[in-house]
Structure 1
Amino acid sequence: MSRALVLYAHPVPDSFNAAVHETVVTTLKASGWEVDDFDLYAEGFDPVLSRAEREGYHDVDTNVRPVARQVERLLAAQALVLVFPVWNMGYPAILKGYFDRVFLPGVSFVMRDGVVHPNLTHIRKVAACVTYGGARLRTMLAGDPPRKVVTRTLRYTTQARRLRYLALYDMNRATDARRAAHLARVARAMEGL
């Protein structure tokens, strides 16, 4: 059985993001995936990269120690699914901190002769289920950084064969019908992951 690591980053249990998260987890399980559901807030993940961690960042023999369990979960996955809101044109701080602390040299990439090479190539499928408060045009004018990180950086790091970016823009004015349609779209994407 293939394992999907779901990284969920929203602090409010009755938010629309919680509904997206539930749709992702339920649909993946129903589709035969073993799901490692990592709710960053519920599990109390500490997103702060400490001075000691930064100073030991490039020491591949020891850099994993502070986040060994999270690295183990990442290395066991064949799919990575992110569920998060876009705040201030970026990831929630807790998710950004996850990437800072867990996507380490020797974990997500290796350095050879000063060049970065992907190291999460066992992850063959990546999906992001994202909500934006702002409209698509405003987000595009700002460069849509979260989309670029997922579709470029994560794609490179994993060499994913399949990548999905499922965004609901203009969440602040989304009707019940638009939210329901987004949940249905997420479910279809997870069925085909």
Structure 2
Amino acid sequence: MSTVPTVSSVRRALIVHAHPEPGSFSTAQAAAAAAHLRSRGVAVDTIDLYAHGWDPTLSRTQFASGSGYFKPQVEQMRQISGGVVSEPVGSHLELLQGADLLILSFPLWWFSMPAILKGRVDRVFVMGALFGGEHGILRNGAMRGKKAMVLLTTGGDESAFRRGAADGFGDLDAFLFHVHRGMFEFVGYDVVPPFVTYGPARLDAEARADALAQVPAHLDSVLDPTSAEQPV
């Protein structure tokens, strides 16, 4: 008997990575995820925000009107209504809308994501395209039926993030709430449990390799949420 995976609804994935060091474990983890998804026949687009020199600021200079009282969401709605979203946001938005699975890859900094990644959400989660306008929020968001997950590394080890741990940092789920609920679910995504490597800086080479080797199984659970055992 062997397990035959069900046909996955994930045909295209977008990995948005935010770590300034190309040689980091976080970057290796993102690369491992991309490689496995491709091996499963998933088309993968990757965006390395630091390598691309992404500007995380949302400002009036990015919109044609550029005068009077500046309200970003009004300007976003105006662009959506006009059918033209200024670059580079337009291209990033197109990739986002075309993906069945969104993966945000980042190190946990100050119990949150790097500012460059938060700035991408500010600019690319466009009102009128992902929520608002003809779309609602949460279950009525434009990304309903699609999946999103976090691919994470931390500075502390796993014990530091256990709920109620003495002298611990706190529950990791609480730190990720603003991502899972405030970003993913807000625009309609189904949230996939995060993949976390705790304290890779404290791991030796063998342990790091073992951690990377666990990425495929986690992604398989995303691609094949149910599977049937059938003879082949």
If the length of structure 2 is used for normalisation, what is the TM-score? 0.71
Q: In structure 2, what is the equivalent of residue 65 of structure 1?
A: 86
Q: 1:132 and 1:2, CA in 2 relative to 1: closer, same or farther beyond 3 A?
A: same
Instruction: Tell me the amino acid that sits aligned with residue 86 of structure 2.
Output: R
Q: CA RMSD in A?
A: 2.6
Q: 1:97 aligns with which of 109, 119, 126?
A: 119
**SS of alignment partner, residue 110 of structure 1:** coil
**Structure 2 unaligned residues grouped into runs of 5+:** 1-9, 63-69, 164-168, 224-232
How far apart are the structure 2 equivalents of 1:168 and 1:42? 23
Instruction: Tell me the amino acid that sits aligned with residue 198 of structure 2.
Output: Y
If the length of structure 1 is used for normalisation, what is the TM-score? 0.84
In percent, how many aligned pairs have the same letter? 32
Q: In structure 1, what is the equivalent of residue 7 of structure 2?
A: none
Q: 1:158 aligns with which of 165, 188, 202?
A: 188
Is residue 2:128 matched to residue 1:106?
yes
How far apart are the structure 1 equivalents of 2:177 and 2:205? 28
Query: Structure with the greater relative contact order (CA < 8 A, sep ≥ 6): 1 or 2?
Result: 2
**Structure 1 unaligned residues grouped into runs of 5+:** none
Deviations 1:130-172 (A, max 9, x none): 0011244544645545521333231342331x61201122334
Q: Point out the structure with the larger strand share.
A: 1
Instruction: Tell me the amino acid that sits aligned with residue 220 of structure 2.
Output: E
Is residue 2:200 matched to residue 1:171?
yes
Matched residues, number: 190
**SS of alignment partner, residue 58 of structure 2:** coil
**SS of alignment partner, residue 73 of structure 2:** coil
- From the CA coordinates, give the structure whose radius of gyration is larger: 2
Q: 1:179 and 1:27, CA in 2 relative to 1: closer, same or farther beyond 3 A?
A: same
Which moves more between the two structures, 146-155 or 1-10?
146-155
Aligned-residue offset at 1:42: 1.6
